[in-house]
Amino acid sequence: ALGAAIRDCEGCGLCKSRHQVVVGEGVDSPAIMVIGEAPGEQEDRQGLPFVGRSGMLLDNMLATIGASRHTNVYVANAIKCRPPGNRNPRPEESAACHPFLMRQIALVNPRTILVLGRVAAQAVLSTDSSLQALRGRPLSFDAAGGQIPMVVSYHPAYLLRRPTEKAAAWEDLQRLRAIAAIEA
């Protein structure tokens, strides 16, 4: 029902330019719920999250810690429709999607959350803190059933532009693997 509500949503202007709404993909009650920013061109075409170049890098990174959307991961975005030209989502667009994201986290019921990039981190945590302030800190998400441990890291699109930051992202993933108790 939540998926249908998201797919039918006309709560902001992005519904006019989208081809497909991207709800999410993966398993229920996963070890990790990955939350990205918003669909890009490929995702908007296919209706699936992280299927372009960033998605390939994300899948490869997850594989290094024994994680995949086919076995123990659920992948979603903070914003469910593509902003034209991949511009940053506007505050009113993030606000329109926020209740969906909160409900989705509750229903997916993840053991841990991995948030990718500043835009997603600010949307999930309802904060205007910088990525530098949030990365590398023990964080948690307040869910109805208790606190869900959360790791904020770099967005894969940023890592494609700045490969030297991959070492720092790798450290974030190791921390996540430990918290999510995934056997390597």
Instruction: Dig out the tokens for 89 from the structure.
Output: 């989502």
CA dihedral (159, 143, 26, 84) in degrees, to 10, reads: -50
Contacts of 167 (CB under 8 A, 6+ apart): none
Residue 183: CB minimum distance to ligand URA, A: 27
Nearer to ligand URA, 11 or 52 (CB): 52
With CB atoms as reference, the residue minimizing the distance to ligand URA is: 36
Nearer to ligand URA, 43 or 59 (CB): 43
Residue 40: CB minimum distance to ligand URA, A: 4
Residue 102: CB minimum distance to ligand URA, A: 18
Nearer to ligand URA, 11 or 36 (CB): 36
Report residue 170 CA to chain centroid gap.
Answer: 17
Helices in 18-164 by DSSP H: which ranges? 41-46, 53-63, 91-108, 118-125, 131-134, 156-161
Residue 157: CB minimum distance to ligand URA, A: 6
Residue 75: CB minimum distance to ligand URA, A: 7
Contacts of 132 (CB under 8 A, 6+ apart): none
Nearer to ligand URA, 11 or 39 (CB): 39
Nearer to ligand URA, 26 or 52 (CB): 52
Q: Which of 181, 183, 184, 158 is nearest to 169 (CA)?
A: 158
Q: Where on the chain is the footprint of ligand URA (CB under 6 A)?
A: 36-40, 43, 49-50, 52, 54-55, 77, 157
